[in-house]
Amino acid sequence: MHPLSFDLTRLPCPCFTESHDAWRKTVRGFVEREIAPHVNAWDEEGKFPRELHRRAADIGLIGLGYPEAFGGVSEGVDIFHSIIASEELARAGSGGLVAGLMTHGIGLPPIIALGSDELKARLAPDILAGRKLIALCVTEPSGGSDVANIRTKAVRDGDHYVVNGEKTFITTGMRADYLTVAARTGAAGAGGLSFLLVEADNPGVTRTKLDKMGWWMSDTATIHFEDVRVPAANLIGAENSGFAGIVANFNGERLGMAAQSIAFARVCLEDAAAWAMQRETFGKPLSKHQVVRHKLAEMLRHVHASTALLDNCAWRVRNGETPVAELSLLKVQATRTMEFCAREAMQILGGAGFMRGCRVERIYREVRVMAIGGGSEEIMLDLAARQSGL
């Protein structure tokens, strides 16, 4: 283990306990056994086995933080267990794997938080067991972050809603069995939005696969809804109260993306340092050149600063706070750290980093989706400013 290995670049966290350490070992073993040997091939194939969801469920990864009544694992679990899961999954060097495997992490929470007991009992057990997949459908071709102006409509017709509209950039949109859809059920603006659970095989639902710069193994889709009839019992929460659920979902998504981004930065630092210590130029290892040492030190500085903010935000969330401004700034800080470290690692690795099958090359391709998804840098900075009273 060299001085800038993945483990040694993680600042000690006073919130970690023996339970967190044991959980890290469990997830790390799963990643090393079930993911790392195959991740390059899966990326080239543009998919990973659906069975992986069941295997992840078997170790408690899919059910982490969800109610025991539905097959989840919640006893003794806190936000730091989720952060550890994000960090360990990132060691495989594939954001596409994380996005595809953990897609329920944004599709299921609105149902758990707002849905009826019947809806939760009907869906959650199969999802948490890895038998069924769920996708969140918010973004539309007409806009992403401007969720208050969603155009997809759901019109009440007796004991059904009739849904018409289009969603795009939907993670797991091609494979999902269930779709958590944000739709307009009322007047214009934030006050007219609702969440509906749409079964993906409903008549009138069609899906188009999208090709991307990165996240190759995670399928992404545009989903069309044409006169799709959805039982009124599939309404998630009260009608026209969906906006609050959308916003609450974003906070958790941003924290998870930040943890993942910082971990990807640590992967880049680990691989760049290892290469610099064994690659020789002009008669000595790269790491003995001051300019390269300074690159590695700058990467470490970014990682440490971002990790400190991550742990502080997570501690506040665990204590019941919703620090919207800090979570927004954290997301920007983390994704910029990932971008900086991916760039510097690629520069240190040179031609080796440009080759497919290299963790740094894959992470480099995935920088932009992390900076855009879950709220772009521009939206995050403006939200933080407004939350701060500016």
Instruction: Give catalytic residues, as residue numbers.
Output: 253
- Angle at which helices 324-349 and 377-387 pack, to 10 degrees? 150
Assess contact for 66 and 48: CB atoms under 8 A: no
At 114, the amino acid letter reads: L
Between CA 335 and CA 329 the distance in angstroms is 10
Assess contact for 272 and 349: CB atoms under 8 A: yes
Question: How buried is residue 273: exposed, middle or buried, by Cβ count under 10 Å (0-12/13-18/19+)?
Answer: buried
Between CA 120 and CA 111 the distance in angstroms is 6
Q: Which residue has the tokens 């009992």?
A: 121
Question: How buried is residue 202: exposed, middle or buried, by Cβ count under 10 Å (0-12/13-18/19+)?
Answer: middle
Single out the residue of 88, 68, 119 nearest to residue 26, CA to CA. Answer: 88
Between CA 340 and CA 297 the distance in angstroms is 12
